[in-house]
Amino acid sequence: MSIFADSAGKTATELAFRDPQPGDRFSEMMAFYVYVVGRKGDLVATLEGNPPCTFPDDGVLRWQSLDEFRRRFSYGSIEGYWIRFMDRGNNVDGWIDGAGR
């Protein structure tokens, strides 16, 4: 899936927001990163940080509902999200425990 500003990238981002999975990585212009590190039903755990940062040590852990996760990163007044899906399948095992050390 493309991460660039084309219809394929938009589709990948929207699909990832519909069903976020541990290991998903999102970014806003490489200046802000969000990793999905956990999912329990309707709850999504993310680690978020701004470069220079090392994950999981510098990440800020947030638990939120799926709706809140989508709302936090949506433009609100127009369709779409201000962060883009980068890739899936990153190894985030143990990151919840290692957050903010």
For the chain, the maximum distance between any two Cα atoms, rounded to a whole number of angstroms, is: 39
Q: For residue 2, is it within any domain? A: no
Range of the domain at 19: 7-88
Distance in angstroms between the alpha carbons of the first and the last residue of the chain: 33
Over residues 64-98, the pLDDT tens digits come to 999 999 999 999 888 899 999 999 999 999 999 86
Q: Report, as an integer, the average pLDDT of 34-59.
A: 95
Does 84 reside within a domain? yes
Say if 58 falls within a structural domain: yes
pLDDT value at position 30? 85
Nearest 5°: the CA angle 6, 81, 94 is: 105
pLDDT tens-digit profile of 27-43?
999 899 999 999 999 99
Number of domains in the chain: 1
Q: Does residue 100 lie in a domain region? A: no
Looking at the domain assignment, is residue 39 inside a domain? Answer: yes
CA distance 74 to 33: 15
Domain assignment of residue 101, yes or no: no
Is position 16 within any domain? yes
> Would you say residue 95 lies in a domain?
no
| Predicted confidence band of residue 4 (pLDDT cuts 50, 70, 90) | very low
